[in-house]
Structure 1
């Protein structure tokens, strides 16, 4: 989606170690992106691909933690892709940015240098509100970031499965009431699924799930301890504060 260049501002993440230019209106990266980054594994030398990268928040947060990775940010909106490039430069991170729709075919991915079996890790925060059940935002960018057409998750997972090498890892964040959709999508070609629920606090139901899966694995599903974003006083919990400040990874 193209259009007039939006007004942008800079926001700090990971305790100030990551600075990001973002549009002042519409969808803005926040806790979901940082939680996804903290739950994404990797090591120096890995090829890590961020699907639907937006301004690059999650992928660049991973690169802030893991030196020496080969990072690719995939985004279909050229305005957001341009901001992702600016953000990589701003933070001194080497990253390649591809303008590509995740639902494109294998040939388009190969033309962009993302051929089959070429990635060690794929992370993604797909649009997760069903367009048939949720009232869409009037803001075009926010609507595109949050509202998905039916079967969109299947298409995103299919693209990740194609891009990942055998044994490669998919890391994603999704709404908690969509767990069945996630497990159904991962049932084709993935195993070793680990799920970590994310709750606002101990008294409220989960609002998100963080999911990790391994291509070709036959390991059983694991349900990990829940993450509480706030403690009993209403302040950020010690664990969530350390994760969102970049002081701790999110165990899965």
Structure 2
């Protein structure tokens, strides 16, 4: 993290039930992380792995909802890993935070305790801005968190497929205009897809898609009714408010 990013803020999530310290500048957790958590199915005893966890927002939000999971927060930035550990402790949530490049080898994953067929759930919010259309940030940590290389999505999905047990679930959030790329990458080893578009408002095209995919799943793909975040006045819709305050779940989280 760069020098300015060493300054931190403490922010409330899930209606104040989760408090997180995070860098004042650079990549900051927000709505995407909470939507991802609300879309993640988990049960007590599950091994849940958060890829690209940052300060732990999405994974810790899942653990605050489902007690008794084994939570692993995997993040390449050492400073963010330290902050994720601190956030887990401050919120009294048991979690293991690892310095781990999601694109690393199977051997590196295994040495970190994430061998093949070891996870029940993987959730991820990969860097997803197209480098060809996204202005490069002078903040390298922010650039790494937001800008995708051509192979980013496929490599992250490949890593999740390797560590998931048969029947395990991958949950991810991605750009809505990248849905074709997402479906192509998930076509190798995943099925039973559930896709939920996310709209800024009812009159706008979707800006995000939330996708749940099952390793080895064979059920038909389901396209769900979209989630609308704001009404015409720019206020959060009742459904979005329930999700963001932790009082409701998205259909993808229901098994």
Q: Please report the TM-score for the alignment, with normalisation by the length of structure 1.
A: 0.98
Partner of 1:207: 207
Please list every run of 5 or more consecutive structure 1 residues that lacks an aligned counterpart in the other structure.
none
| Matched residue, 2:165 | 165
Secondary structure at the counterpart of residue 143 of structure 2: helix
Report the Cα distance in structure 2 between the residues aligned to 1:234 and 1:76, rounded to whole angstroms.
35
Q: d(CA) in 2 for partners of 1:235 and 1:8?
A: 28
What is the match of residue 74 of structure 2?
74
Q: Give secondary structure in 1 for the equivalent of 2:206.
A: coil
**1:157-236 equivalences in 2 (<5 Å):** 157-236=157-236
The residue that corresponds to 1:104 in the other structure is 104
Counterpart residue number, 1:59: 59
| Contact map agreement 2:128 2:174 (CA 8 A) in 1 | yes
Q: Report the alpha carbon displacement of residue 98 of structure 1 after superposing the two structures with TM.
A: 0.8
Structure 1 residue matching 2:6: 3-state secondary structure: coil
* CA distances 1:152-175 after superposition (whole Å, capped 9, x unpaired): 100000000001000000000001
Write the distance in 2 (CA, Å) between the matches of 1:24 and 1:190.
37
Q: CA deviation at 1:219?
A: 1.1
Per-residue CA deviations over 1:112-166 (Å, capped at 9, x if unaligned) read 0000000000000000012123222222121111001111100000000001000
Aligned equivalents of 2:191 and 2:21: distance in 1?
36
Could you tell me how far apart the structure 2 residues matched to 1:201 and 1:8 are? 31
Tell me, in whole angstroms, the C-alpha distance in 2 between the residues paired with 1:194 and 1:135: 32
> How far apart are the structure 1 equivalents of 2:135 and 2:188?
30
Offset at 1:232?
2.9
List alignment gaps of at least 5 residues for structure 2.
none
The separation in 2 between residues aligned to 1:3 and 1:20, in whole angstroms, is 19
**Residue 47 (1) aligns with residue 39 (2):** no
Q: Work out the CA distance in 2 between the residues paired with 1:3 and 1:86.
A: 19
SS for the counterpart of 1:207 is: strand
- SS of the residue 1:54 aligns to: coil
Per the TM alignment, residue 233 of structure 1 is displaced from its structure 2 partner at its CA by: 2.9
- Would the alpha carbon gap of residues 139 and 220 (structure 1) be closer, same or farther in structure 2, given more than 3 Å must change? same
Q: Decide whether the 8 Å contact of 2:48 with 2:121 is kept in 1.
A: yes
Aligned residues: 251
Structure 2: distance between partners of 1:43 and 1:146: 30
Take 1:234 and 1:6, find their aligned partners in 2: how far apart are those partners?
33
Q: CA deviation at 1:234?
A: 2.1
CA contact (8 A) 2:2 2:141 kept: no
CA distance in 2 between partners of 1:64 and 1:3 (Å): 30
Question: Is 1:11 aligned to 2:11, yes or no?
Answer: yes
* Range 192-201 or range 228-237, more displaced: 228-237
Corresponding residue of 1:84: 84
Structure 2 distance, partners of 1:144, 1:237, is 32
Q: Which residue of 1 aligns with 2:151?
A: 151
Matching residue of 1:142: 142
Aligned to 2:251, the other structure's residue is in SS state coil
